[in-house]
Amino acid sequence: MNTKTLLALLYKLSLLGGLLWALWGCARYADDVETPPTITARLEGSPVFAPVIQATAKEQSRIQIAVTFNTESPIQVIRVIDQNNAEVTRFTGLNGNAGTFTWSYFIPANTPSGSVIQLRHVAFDSDDRNSEAVFTVNVADISAPVVSVNLPGSTDAFATVARNLAVTIDAHLEAPEGLRELRVSASGAGITPTQDILPAANLTLPLTTYGYVVPAEANINENITLEFVLADNLGKLSAPAIFTITVEDVVVIVSGNLTGNNTWTANKIYQLNGPVYLSNGASLTIEAGTQIQGTKGTNDELIIEGQIDIQGSATAPVRMSSGEAIPSQGDWVGITFTATSSGSVRYLVVAYAGDDSPLTERDAAFNFLETTTALDIQFVQAYQSSAEGFRFRGGNVNLKYAFANACSAEGFRLDDNNGSPYNGKGQFWIVTGNNDAESIALRDGSFALLSNITILNEGAAAANNALRIRGGSVRIFNVIAAFNSTGLRFLSNAVPPFNLSDNPVMAHGRYFDNISNYHSTTTAYDGQLNNSTESVSGIGVGDFVPLAAPAGLSTSMLDPWFTNVSFIGAVENESANWTAGWTLP
């Protein structure tokens, strides 16, 4: 081989060697290159092969995120960065080339509803190679708390209230995110501003009743503003609900004619100024617990010609009394129901009345002037009247659960009005401490059907007749009359026949411990129609509640109006004492 050929061959070999060297270098470099780490971020509970990479939740809630990583070089750190490039958290010390862990993301308070949060999970290995996985959080809408206020039974968010008296407010609460507290702030009318915070334990959804007492220092005729704000468990506050109180004096002066629709409320005292007429066609509603006062020497009288609705209760009776600091009998006139009056009366006490009316010479605490059955009246008391407790002048109004005590004239007087006699019914009547010659008197051609009557006085000191029939007709059953001068007395000397259907007739009565149980002309009543002089256990001077009332005539035999009972006297026993709690002693 010549030299030229040899040189050419050597050149070719050198080129081939360079190529081989290059190929070897490339292969060696390829062996040195590693893949970057892999990472997934998914909702906890979703599988790796089908990850859920987003969630929807409300602010201040937590989301559990599962992170899975895999790398050829050891993992160094995983950083979580939000859409604003701010680091949310980082995880180190993961130790290893592969693994899964779970972390909890808390959506910050006050994050706007509808926001989108991007959580970039960036994994770095020991060679500073990295990769990332994004988890998206959609911030859901929240329902803010809501509060509204009004008077019970009304849509009004305002009231007129006197100082030292309370107003009851209904607060309607909505807290979809959970109830934390109700804040009630009071200001205005010269008072010291206050805030009352009611925790969730003291609140009831959806309605909480709130009571506010007007401070004694509040300025009259100015407004107190009550601001109600509801807070939920997210710390969200409702828009304020406003209740306005106009401060007024406690006493309301009433005079003249009442027309239209009127309401008297328990947060005021109504002072009568002369005769006050509820006009025919007008109405008056008086709330339970309302106080009405008469003024001495001013002819104060409430005269009902229209529709009356007195709805007291056994725990909150309506009381009409004297306005004097030290009251006495006859400080004012009383209440009169006329022929045109109608409506309902429950739990009414009339005290210290009986002054002579200059209008029609009426003077009883309760006057019924040709009143009809259009008036439904029950649970009433006449106390310390200087005249009669209850006086019926004609008409046919019925009366049930009535108590006359410490009156200076008859407890109940039934007579006529200009020749028109009374013709009505009565049940559960009590007279005690009567200072007149007669406790229950029937006269002037009147007729009455009565049952369950108790009349007690002061024994030998009481020169009176428990029942005095001066004229007219009466059918009376189930009577207790004790500690009187005379138990039963007729004006006529004639002794009536003894039959339940007779008129007049008295049956199933107990007349005992009277100076004379029967007037001399009616002695024959003893033993007839179950009348007797046998005492009743538990009955004493002024004590009208027996241990157990004796059996008497069933009132179902008399008239459908009567409450169906079959005992003697006005009260059956202590547990059935209908006077308890609301009457004056």
Q: Are residues 105 and 130 in the same domain?
A: yes
Q: Are residues 167 and 104 in the same domain?
A: no
Residue with tokens 């007008």: 282
Closest-CA residue to 413 (of 395, 393, 430): 393
| Model pLDDT, residue 29 | 44
| Model pLDDT, residue 491 | 62
| Model pLDDT, residue 8 | 59
| Model pLDDT, residue 367 | 96
Q: Which helix (H) or strand (E) holds 10?
A: helix 3-32
Pairing of strands 62-70, 98-106: antiparallel
Q: Tell me whether residue 508 is in a domain.
A: no
Residue where a domain terminates, one of 216, 247, 278: 247
Give 281-313 pLDDT, tens digit per residue: 999 999 999 999 998 877 889 999 999 999 999
Whether the bond between 108 and the residue before it is cis, its omega within 30 degrees of 0, is no
| Model pLDDT, residue 489 | 79
Question: How many Å separate Cα 145 from the centre of its chain?
Answer: 24
Give 110-132 pLDDT, tens digit per residue: 898 889 999 999 999 888 899 99
| Model pLDDT, residue 575 | 96
- φ, ψ for residue 4, nearest 5 deg: -65, -40
| Model pLDDT, residue 499 | 67
Identify the CATH number of the domain in which residue 102 sits.
Answer: 2.60.40.10
- φ, ψ for residue 130, nearest 5 deg: -145, 160
| Model pLDDT, residue 31 | 46
CB of 308 within 8 A of CB of 348?
Answer: no
Q: Are residues 160 and 68 in the same domain?
A: no
Q: Are residues 203 and 172 in the same domain?
A: yes
Q: Tell me whether residue 341 is in a domain.
A: no
| Model pLDDT, residue 28 | 46
**474-502: average pLDDT:** 76
Q: pTM score, two decimals?
A: 0.63
| Model pLDDT, residue 1 | 56
DSSP 356-374: PPTTTS---SEEEES--TT
CB of 430 within 8 A of CB of 407?
Answer: no
Q: Tell me whether residue 150 is in a domain.
A: yes
Q: Are residues 107 and 161 in the same domain?
A: no
Q: Tell me whether residue 432 is in a domain.
A: no
Q: Are residues 95 and 166 in the same domain?
A: no
Q: Tell me whether residue 65 is in a domain.
A: yes
Q: Name residue 519's amino acid.
A: H
Q: Are residues 67 and 153 in the same domain?
A: no
- Low-confidence winner among 34-38, 188-192, 344-348 (lowest mean pLDDT): 34-38
Q: Are residues 156 and 103 in the same domain?
A: no
| Model pLDDT, residue 526 | 62
Kindly indicate the confidence band of residue 73, based on its pLDDT and cuts at 50, 70 and 90. Answer: confident
Show the tokens assigned to 478.
């189930």
Q: Tell me whether residue 117 is in a domain.
A: yes
**477-506: average pLDDT:** 75
- 243 forms beta bridges with 226
- Low-confidence winner among 25-29, 259-263, 433-437 (lowest mean pLDDT): 25-29
User: What average pLDDT is seen over the chain?
Assistant: 89
- Low-confidence winner among 396-405, 410-419, 466-475 (lowest mean pLDDT): 466-475
pLDDT at residue 27 tops 50: no
| Model pLDDT, residue 110 | 86
Q: Are residues 193 and 120 in the same domain?
A: no
Residue where a domain terminates, one of 139, 158, 192: 139
Residue where a domain terminates, one of 218, 247, 276: 247
**358-373: average pLDDT:** 85
Pairing of strands 420-421, 438-442: unpaired
CB of 564 within 8 A of CB of 556?
Answer: yes
Q: What is the DSSP letter of 237?
A: B
Structural domains in the chain (count): 2
| Model pLDDT, residue 148 | 97
Q: Are residues 54 and 106 in the same domain?
A: yes
Q: Are residues 96 and 125 in the same domain?
A: yes
3-state secondary structure of 24: helix
Q: Are residues 68 and 123 in the same domain?
A: yes
How many Å apart are CA 563 and CA 549, to the nearest integer?
16
**CA distances from residue 527 to 70, 506, 531 in whole angstroms, order as listed:** 113, 11, 5
**526-550: average pLDDT:** 90
| Model pLDDT, residue 57 | 92
Q: Tell me whether residue 214 is in a domain.
A: yes
pLDDT at residue 7 tops 80: no
Range(s) of the domain holding residue 126? 38-139
Q: Tell me whether residue 571 is in a domain.
A: no
Q: What is the DSSP letter of 575?
A: G
**162-178: average pLDDT:** 90
| Model pLDDT, residue 477 | 94
| Model pLDDT, residue 30 | 44
